Every structure is written in structure tokens, then in C-alpha cells.
Amino acid sequence: MIGSAVLLLSAASLGAAAPQAKPVEATGQDLIINGLKLYPEKCVVYSGELTVPGKEQRTVKNPLLCSQLYESNVAIVDKEKKDIAGTIDFEGLTRDPVYHASGVLVEGEFLWTSINTGAAFESFGENINGINYAIKYDLQNHKEVWRVDVTTPANGKFGGTQDFAVDTSGNTFVVGTYPGHIIKITPDGKTASLWNSSNSTKSTQTGYTGIVSKGDILLVTNEQNGGEVLRFDSRDEKGNPTVVDTGSKKLNKGLDGAALVNIGSNEYLLVATEDGLKTVAPADEKWEKAEILEPTEPIKSNDVNGTITIALQVEEKIYAIIEYFGDNRPGSDGGLSGDREKWPFQDITSQVTALTTSDRKPQCSRGGIARVRY
């Protein structure tokens, strides 16, 4: 989502029209999904069979659940048929032009999603007005478990909520970007509080962009201080971060989503940046020290009109999620999204694997895929 503001501002400053949607051909082992309105900010894998809500009652095995940025809902993607089987809508929010959908997270039979005011990102934090929501949704019974206002706990001083992580106690941690904060929600959804805020008081300063959990360890990407990874203990009453020591290397600018992936018996953090997708290798399971691995060639979108927002692991494959912020909107059907019909999930498995198996193999036991945002 950070990339959207940068791209739109650049186009406006040049007086150029946004690029038209163009078909994208598969390269190598890319997965191409067909359908309108997807514009995925983030995708996660649901393990099992999921029946699409509505009249059709189509059942999809191991679907991808993707946030549809401009429609403010979640798409159920059939990766075998390579199409959009249906959507999960949220009453009063879906297809409201004020809102965007960003982070998604799946734990068991439950889905978390962030429905937030798009103006925060489009204005670089200048406009953080409006209510942002975190929603927990029961995938089997197709109903909301809770819907929480995550703006009020921030006292109107923070905005740009993006992604989630859940700790071993079932608490939900929602990360916000402007200027950087974390909202903690109790498992029952009844209490939301400001758990951590960055040192900055300027809403126009980009702060936290992505969050993942590894047990009770929370890893948060922070664009401040040159681009760093922060480490939190979710059991603390208030979030007290320490900086993961990455030596002289930094993540730099234009940070977006972060995701944990497993390669062999090791685990890595993939972070979307303006320089391309970067790989962070921990020294051990504690994540107190890590190394930012430098690829020979930047891992970027193969389509010059696309921007990588986050990585996704599907079994042994690792894909880059590509967003198209520059497409003309609204599309010809009068909706909120553009006219693009093909969505490449770019296969970056070989590029990431080459980095992690070259001359360094960190000793880190295998863990579950945590996740990321916009």
C-alpha cells in the first residue's frame, strides 16, 4: 500500500495518465489468476475445503484468500482452476470507496482482515481521519466473530493500519504505518489498546509496515532509522522493542509487507522494499541478530507496471504478490477497481533459494509460516 502513494504521486507530478491494464504472460512457473477486481494486497493459504458464501455454493480445496484492495473484501482464489471462486464481503464496508482492504491472516478456521481508510496511504499520512477496522471472521460458518475499531485506541494520532499477527495466547496485534504503532486486541475482541507507538509524533513519517509472529516473538518492519526489523515480546504489558542487529546493512526505504517462509529446515523473513524483495536470515531462533542477504540482481516485479507488496509461500513455492497501483480507476464497469483481468503470482523460489543456500546456512528450526501487509 505504501507503493500506491508513491506511484500515484509520481504520475500526478509528471502529468501522465496512469498506465492501462495489459495482459501479463506467465514466465517460468508463475501462477496467473484470471478475474476482475482482484488487486491483491496480501494473500494467505487456507488449508482444507472452503465453501464459497452465496447461492453458488462452490467448494474450493486449499484456496488462497486475498485482500481485494479497492473492493474492501477478501477474494477466495482457486489456484487449481486459476480463477476467483467468490468473495467474503463485510457489511457496511465492502465496496465503500472510503475503505481499502490490506492485511489478511489465517489461523485454523478463522480469517483476520484489515479494512482501513485508503486516504491515509494516498496522502502519505497527512489525512488519518476515519475509523479503521480489524475483523475476525469464521470461515466455516461465514460470519464475523468480531469487528473492532482500531482507531479510537490510538486517540486519532495514528493511522494507516495494515497487517496482523496472533500470539500463542490468541491476542491479535495490528500494525499501523503512520507514524508507526501497534494495537493489541484481546482474544474475545472486547478490548483494544495502544500497545506500542514509535517515537515520532508526525503522522506523515512512515513507520511500521509489516508484522509476523513466531510464538510470542513479534517481528515488525520499521522504515525509520534506515529500515530495520524490530523484535517484541508479546507477553509484555506494553510493547518494548529491541532492534534486530543486522550489522551495517539496512532495509532502506519503501517498505511494505513482511512474511516468514521456510526453506528446508530454516526460516527467513522476506520484506518488500522499493529496492525489491529482501531476505533476512536470523542467526538463531531468538531473532536477536540477523543478516540481510544481498541478491546479485534485485528481486522485483517482472512487469514494470507492477509493485511487489509481499511474499507468499505455497508448499515449496515462494511467490511475489504483485499489485498494480497505477491502473486507471474506476474501470469501465463503473466499479471501484480497474479493468485488469490477469494477476501474476511471480515465482521467486529459485532466486530466494539461491540466496539462502549459497555460502550461509543459518541454524534455525523449522516453524510455521507467520505472515504479513500492505
The tens digit of pLDDT for each residue in 41-87 reads 999 999 999 999 987 789 999 999 999 999 999 999 999 999 999 99
pLDDT digits (tens, 9 = 90+) for 159-182: 999 999 999 999 999 999 999 999
What fold does the segment set 2-356 form as a domain? Neuraminidase (2.120.10)
Put residue 124 in one of left, alpha, beta given phi > 0 → left and psi -120 to 50 → alpha: left
Q: Alpha-carbon dihedral of residues 116, 117, 118, 122, nearest 10 degrees?
A: -130
Percent of the chain with pLDDT over 90: 81
**Dihedral angle computed from the Cα positions of residues 136, 96, 370 and 64, in that order, rounded to the nearest 10 degrees:** 100
Angstrom distance (rounded) from CA 61 to CA 106:
15
d(CA 97, CA 238): 34
Bridge partners of 211, per DSSP, are 220
> Which tens digits make up the pLDDT trace of 223-266?
999 999 999 999 999 999 999 999 999 999 999 999 999 999 99
Residue 247 amino acid letter: G
Q: Are 140 and 165 in contact (CB under 8 A)?
A: no
- The pLDDT score that the predictor gives to residue 359 is 52
Cα–Cα dist 297/165, whole Å: 31
Q: How confident is the model at residue 23 (pLDDT cuts 50, 70, 90)?
A: very low
Which residues are bridge partners to 34 per DSSP?
83, 342
pLDDT of residue 326: 94
Q: Average model confidence (pLDDT) for the chain?
A: 89
CA-closest candidate to residue 258, choices 304, 301, 222: 222
199 — pLDDT class (breaks 50, 70, 90): confident
Instruction: With cut-offs at 50, 70 and 90, classify the pLDDT of residue 28.
Output: low
**Residues 187-201, mean pLDDT to the nearest whole number:** 94
CA 26 to chain centre: 23
- DSSP type of residue 21: P
CA distance 317 to 319: 7
* 318 pLDDT above the threshold of 70: yes
Distance in angstroms (rounded) separating the CA atoms of residues 345 and 322:
7
Q: Say if residues 153 and 194 touch (Cβ distance below 8 Å).
A: yes
How far apart are the C-alpha atoms of 351 and 347, rounded to whole Å?
Answer: 9
CB of 59 within 8 A of CB of 76?
Answer: no
CA distance 214 to 287: 10
Q: Is 221 helix (H, G, I), strand (E, B) or coil?
A: strand
CA 332 to centroid of chain Cα atoms: 28
Q: What does the longest C-alpha to C-alpha distance in the chain come to?
A: 56
In angstroms, the CA 177 to CA 166 distance is 18
Q: What is the structure's pLDDT at 333? A: 79
What integer pLDDT is reported at residue 296 of this predicted model?
A: 87
At residue 54, the pLDDT reads 84
Instruction: Please report which confidence band the pLDDT of residue 198 belongs to, taking 50, 70 and 90 as the band edges.
Output: confident
CA pair distance 36, 321, nearest whole angstrom: 16
> What pLDDT is stored for residue 91 in this prediction?
98
